[in-house]
Structure 1
Amino acid sequence: MAIGKMVDVGTADAVWFKYLLSCAAASCAEFATYPLDLTKTRLQIQGEAADSKVPYRGLVRTALGVVREEGPLRLWQGITPAIWRHVVYTGVRMNGYEWMRNQLREEGRSLPVWQAALGGLVMGGTGQLLASPADLVKVQMQMEGRRRLLGKKPRVQSAGQALRKIVREGGVRSLWKGCVPNVQRSALVNLGDLTTYDSVKGRLVQNTTLGDNHLTHFLASACSGLVSATLGTPADVVKTRVMNQPTDKHGRGVLYRNSIDCFLRLVQEEGLLAMYKGFVPCWLRMAPWSLTFWFTYENLRKFCGTSTF
């Protein structure tokens, strides 16, 4: 029996069920595009003092370097905490935004852009605030292969060990290291993703003959990926550096005092364009990520009898 026949109307439109569907769609998108995320993180670290021995390499050379020097499976190093993150982040941002939108909009109409933008900012920031510990673990695991090649002592072997190490060295509070740029970045990315997708899709459905179909989903998700990458990359670079930096015995960062200090030093030492290090893989990842996520999410909802997003 098809799943759509097994799920009654009340369950299909329940918040908890939509939450599960959004997590499933995000997990598919994350796994499919994760190598680009790891490549982006490696590119963003290049140039800082702690990684000065690593030569500057572009997107393709960095990815091929990981495969050649560390093995192809290392392209998925850190995927476990990445999935953990989306169980919290995507579930909160998607369902929080949809609930808010349904409370504010008139029947059959799209939200005004300013309301959609505000909702995207708030829900993206809230979701990332709750999911920040998983993101911290992910970033540290992504850099372990590079540390070994530089002859440095490995910090962690698994996501669970990384989590325990962070708490042991700096307390529970240290799980939110880099939280400020992380929340800023996710708020901007979510603004670009949800606001753009929802607004573009709504206007295509209302003002063209395309209807609510795969082509509409493709066009809306392509736009959302580009806007998300443009808005989120600078904060993403700062977040990555703050999270990856070594800490002293008190759990304080050795390289940067805070996200503002990181931003200022980055611009002074490496130039303004350094804020867009990793932009290409970030964009190349966000575009297919958005496409995979929205295509999977919309079809899961349709398959299960849940109303369209």
Structure 2
Amino acid sequence: MDFLMSGLAACGACVFTNPLEVVKTRMQLQGELQAPGTYQRHYRNVFHAFFTIGKVDGLAALQKGLAPALLYQFLMNGIRLGTYGLAEAKGYLHTADGNLSPVHSAAAGALAGIMGAYLGSPIYMVKTHLQAQAASEIAVGHQYKHQIFPPQSWKVALAAAMVSGIAVVMAMTPFDVASTRLYNQPTDTHGKGLMYRGILDALLQTARTEGIWGMYKGIGASYFRLGPHTILSLFFWDQLRFLYHTYTK
């Protein structure tokens, strides 16, 4: 049951934060391997990106990739939180005398995270491809032509004030940019990437060609996404646990 509730809680948060994920993906692909000032900036900042996407691609485009995003969140977080909760329930996080072991806890968290990320990676790639799709006048990055479901209109906006998460996005955004580009790069007939050899190569090429700030593209979107997604995940998690325990007594 922990797997199910963890996955559903993350899906609830994803519905509200997916538009920011679309904005983040496009800003991270903008100007890929082009020196600053040599390309047209379709998205100047988070708010301009929202306006541009809504105006050119339509409001429904702000929820592009929602289906695989929900599946990814359900799978990754279901496995990650569910596995950790199972380890806690079985007592693996405690020492023989009953005290919580930081080493055991860190090991269980790392293993659960690796399992979730590994199994969710193919779905994340599809999500990235769909979120990068745009009208030709505002297209960035390689344009895959996937079509899973017909476009649906989602007229939902979430306004949130961020008071924390700066350190997280500063540390993680370069790797997020690299992963977005790795997932979105064109491939040869054998499925091998044509632009990057791996995450380190993607980071080095980006820094060398676009400068240090190129590694922080989309940081505004990541920042404004982080807080709502975390809060909503915890909110839905608490509500689902409450309902489960209420109706199973």
TM-score, normalised to structure 1's length? 0.65
Distance in 1, Cα, partners of 2:25 & 2:103: 31
Contact persistence 2:45–2:220 (CA under 8 A):
no
Which residue matches 1:21?
Answer: 5
Letter in 2 for 1:75: L
Change beyond 3 A, Cα 1:156–1:117: same
Match 1:136 to one of 105, 110, 125: 125
* 1:142 Cα deviation after fit: 0.6
3-state SS of paired residue (2:189): coil
- Compared CA separation, residues 234 and 60, structure 1 to 2 (3 A): same
Relative to structure 2, which stretch is displaced further, 250-259 or 133-142? 250-259
Q: 2:56 pairs with 54, 57, 69, which one?
A: 69
Q: Does 1:121 align with 2:105?
A: no
Q: Given the two structures, how large is their TM-score scaled by the length of structure 2? A: 0.80
For 1:147 and 1:117, how far apart are their aligned partners in 2? Answer: 46
5+ residue gaps, structure 1, are 1-16, 161-221
Q: Which amino acid letter does the alignment assign opposite residue 64 of structure 1?
A: F
Q: CA RMSD in A?
A: 3.0
Matches within 5 A, 1:42-191: 42-49=26-33, 52-55=39-42, 57-102=44-89, 103-105=92-94, 111=100, 113=102, 115-147=104-136, 149-150=138-139, 155-159=144-148
SS of residue matched to 2:44:
coil
Distance in 1, matches of 2:84 and 2:52, equals 40
**Is contact 1:247-1:254 (8 Å) kept?**
yes
Give the counterpart of 1:278 among 218, 225, 245.
Answer: 218
Helix, strand or coil at the partner of 1:260: helix
Give the aligned length.
228
Report if aligned partners of 1:36, 1:284 keep a CA contact under 8 Å in 2. yes
What letter matches 2:193 in structure 1?
Answer: G
Tell me, in whole angstroms, the C-alpha distance in 1 between the residues paired with 2:12 and 2:180.
Answer: 23
Is 1:253–2:193 an aligned residue pair? yes
Quote the Cα distance in structure 1 between the aligned partners of 2:245 and 2:109: 25
Is the Cα contact below 8 Å between 1:23 and 1:91 reproduced in 2?
Answer: yes
Structure 1 pair 231–305 and aligned structure 2 pair: CA distance change class (3 A): farther
3-state DSSP of counterpart to 1:119: helix
Q: In the alignment, does 2:164 pair up with 1:229?
A: no
Compute the displacement of 1:55 (Å).
3.9
CA-CA distance at 1:226 after TM superposition: 5.2
Distance in 2 (CA, whole Å) between partners of 1:80 and 1:226 is 29
Distance in 2 (alpha carbons) for counterparts of 1:118 and 1:224:
26
CA contact (8 A) 2:18 2:62 kept: yes
Task: Kindly indicate which of the two structures has a greater share of residues assigned to helix.
Answer: 1
